[in-house]
Amino acid sequence: MNQLPQTGFLRLTQIIGNLKAEPAISPIIPVSKSTWWAGVKTGRYPKPIKLGPRVTAWRVEDIRALIETV
């Protein structure tokens, strides 16, 4: 959790990781994309914020709160 900024937004690949990227992005929460979106739908994971028509992000504060509850 030390790698997270104090405030700001995270994109999905920053949360669930992307091992195929160069350099690889380590997951903060190691779940698949479909599992993440199912969790958002059920309320297990925080709701995203739309920053633009094709840009979805999550508040760092919400991700920190999620990590503390796990």
- pTM score of the predicted model: 0.90
Tokens of 12: 């999905």
Buried b or exposed e, range 7-22, using 16+ CB within 10 angstroms: eebbebebbbbbeeee
Domain spans of the chain? 9-69
List, in sequence order, every residue forming a beta bridge with 9; answer none if it has no partner. 59
The 10s digit of each residue's pLDDT in 22-66 is: 999 999 999 999 999 999 999 999 999 999 999 999 999 999 999
